[in-house]
Structure 1
C-alpha cells in the first residue's frame, strides 16, 4: 500500500495534514505546475480550503510561505493581504499545499466579469484594491521577497471582497538585484527580462524589487481600464491609457513602466500617489472592503480567517498558475 506521508520535507510553522483529514473536491483551476481543487478540512468542522496539487514541487514556495508564517508579530497590515498556507499533505503520490480558500476567485476572473457586464470598477473598490495590493507587495519587499510573477491571475478575492496575493512558486529572497533563470508571465513582465524570455527558460536575467513594480503597474492598469494586457498592443512601450484618466494616475503608471528600472517608483511612492489622488477625487479609501473575520485559522495560526459564504463555480481560478 502506498504511503500518504508527504515528501515535502518538514518545515517549522508548516503543519503536516493527513490526507484523510481533507476531502478533495472539484477542479477549480490548473496550470503548468499544478492544479487547484476545492476542498474541506473534515476534522476542522469542514473548513473550506483550496488544495494546490503540485506537478513539480518548488521548494522556494514553501520557504517563502514559511518566512511569512514565521512573522508572529504581524504588525504590518500588508500581511493581511497574503494568501495563507494552512499545511501540506500528499495524495496519490502527489504533494499538496493546503491553502486558504478565496471564495470569489481571481482578480483576473472578476475583471473579466466586469468587462462582460460593461461595468468599470467603482472608484472606492479600485482605490482600496490598489492600496491592498501595494501593501502586500510592500510587506513582501520588507521581508526581501521578490514575487517575480505579479499579475491579476495571482491576486485572489476573499468572501469579504478583499484582495490577497498568491503563488510564490518563482519568488526569490534577496535584498539585492540578482541574476536568475527566466520565469514569469510576458504581458506583465518588466523589459529587462524580455531578452531572456525569447532566448528560453535556461537564460539568465536580472531581477529586483523594481521588476515587481513594473508588473504591479500593469495590474493597476487592468483594474482601471478592464483591458487585457495579452490582447492589447503597446504604444511606445506602454499600455494605452484613456484620455479621461487623471493625469496623476497616468504619470504614475508610465513611471512604473520605465525601461530603466531605477527610474521606477518605490511601492511607497505608489501608495502615496494613490492616497493623494483619492483625496483629490474625494474617494473614501479603506483598509478593507469588509472587515475579515478575526477567528484564527485551523491549526493554531493566529491570522484572521475569511469564512466562506459562497462556493465558487468551476472556472474562477482557471489558469490561476
Structure 2
C-alpha cells in the first residue's frame, strides 16, 4: 500500500502503474528501433530524476514480461548481478502513451562515454575497464540465470550511473529461454553473432540464438572499452574485429574465443570473469564490484508492502507463445515470430 488510502495500481501484473500527469518529460536522450527515451522527473516523488522510455507498440508486451521477471525475482534478489540491471520504477499504459519509467543514469550510455574518450584521444582508464567489464558480465550472468536472452547487447544499452557504475538496459527484443531457439531477425548488426544475422541475409527469416549469442556481442563491447573504437561491420576480418597493438595475449585470446563462429566454443560468463580478474592482477589493478558505492536510497515505486502477483516461468512462457500466435494471426504488427525450441 502507498501512503494514506491510495492503493498501488497495476496495469500489468506486478509492475506499478504511474499516472501520466505524475511525470514530466524532458529532453530526448536516446532512440532506437523499439523506443524513444526521455529524461524526466517524477513530480509526485519530490521531482525524482527518471528516464522515460516511450515504447513502440510492437515491443510492449515482450519487454514488460522480461522486466516483470526481473522485478519479481525473489530467489536471486540478493545476487550482485541484479544490481547492474537498470531498475524499473513503473509503467505508464493509459492512452495515448505506453512508457517504462526507469532510474535515471546521469552519465549517459557507454557508447556516448567511449565516443567522448575517442574524441579526446584518451583510452578508458584501467580501473573502469576492469570494473565495467565485470559489472556487465555479472548483469548478463543474472539475466541468463533468469532464462532471459537479451539479444541486443551493445554499448548503447549499457548506461553509467552518477557513481560511474555500469547498468544494462533495454529488453525490447529479448527472449525468455535458456535453450537455443528459433526466432526472427532483430538486433544491431555490428554487435550481432553470426547465427543472429547470417541466415537472415540468406533470406531465411528463422534464425537461431542462445545465451552464447549474447557472449559474442559482449565480446564486441569489451573490445569497444579496450580500444574506444566504434565497431563497424567493414572492420571485421574473418568475423573478428582488429586487435590493437599492445593488447595482452590473454585478452586477445578471450576476444577471439567470444567471436567463435561455433557458439559452443565461446566462453561462459565465469570464464570471462576469471580472465578479466587474471588480467587485472597482471596490471596491478584492484577490481572492485563498484567504482563508487551507490547511494543507499530507496527508489520510489518500490513499496515493500505492495503485493506483487507472481507468475511462474511456465506461465510467462505461455504468455510469450500466445503473443507469438497473435503475431502470426495478424493481431499485432511487429518483429517477433513464433517460438520454437530446437536441439
User: TM bucket by the smaller chain?
Assistant: 0.7 to 0.9
Which of the residues 104, 122, 125 maps onto 1:122?
125
Please list, as runs of the form range in 1=range in 2, the aligned pairs for 1:88-107 lying within 5 A after superposition: 88-90=91-93, 93-107=96-110
1:188-237 deviation per Cα after TM superposition (whole angstroms, max 9, x unaligned): 0101122233256x811000000000000000000000111127511222
1:144-165 deviation per Cα after TM superposition (whole angstroms, max 9, x unaligned): 1100000001000011100000
Distance 2:173 2:303 in 1: 25
Higher relative contact order (CA 8 A, sep 6+): 1
Distance 1:220 1:197 in 2: 26
Distance 2:162 2:72 in 1: 25
Aligned counterpart, 1:300: 302
Name which of structure 1's ranges 226-235 and 133-142 shifts more when overlaid on structure 2. 226-235
Aligned counterpart, 2:72: 70
1:98-121 deviation per Cα after TM superposition (whole angstroms, max 9, x unaligned): 111111110000000000001101
Q: 1:92 to 1:27 in 2, by over 3 A?
A: farther
SS of alignment partner, residue 120 of structure 1: coil
Q: Would you say how many aligned residue pairs link Structure 1 and Structure 2?
A: 293
Distance 1:267 1:27 in 2: 34
Distance 2:94 2:232 in 1: 35
SS of alignment partner, residue 215 of structure 2: helix
User: What RMSD over aligned residues (CA atoms) do the two structures have, in Å?
Assistant: 1.6
Aligned counterpart, 1:48: 49
User: Contact 2:11–2:93 (CA<8 Å) still a contact in 1?
Assistant: no
Please list, as runs of the form range in 1=range in 2, the aligned pairs for 1:204-243 lying within 5 A after superposition: 204-230=206-232, 233-243=235-245
Which of the residues 266, 269, 272 maps onto 1:270?
272
Q: CA deviation at 1:281?
A: 1.6
Q: Structure 1: 5+ residue runs without aligned partners?
A: 1-8, 303-321
SS of alignment partner, residue 141 of structure 1: helix
Q: 1:89 to 1:57 in 2, by over 3 A?
A: farther
Q: CA deviation at 1:300?
A: 2.4
Distance 1:288 1:255 in 2: 27
Q: CA deviation at 1:138?
A: 0.5
Which of the residues 171, 182, 190 maps onto 1:168?
171
Which of the residues 185, 188, 191 maps onto 1:185?
188
Question: Scaled by the length of structure 1, what TM-score is found?
Answer: 0.88
Aligned counterpart, 2:254: 252
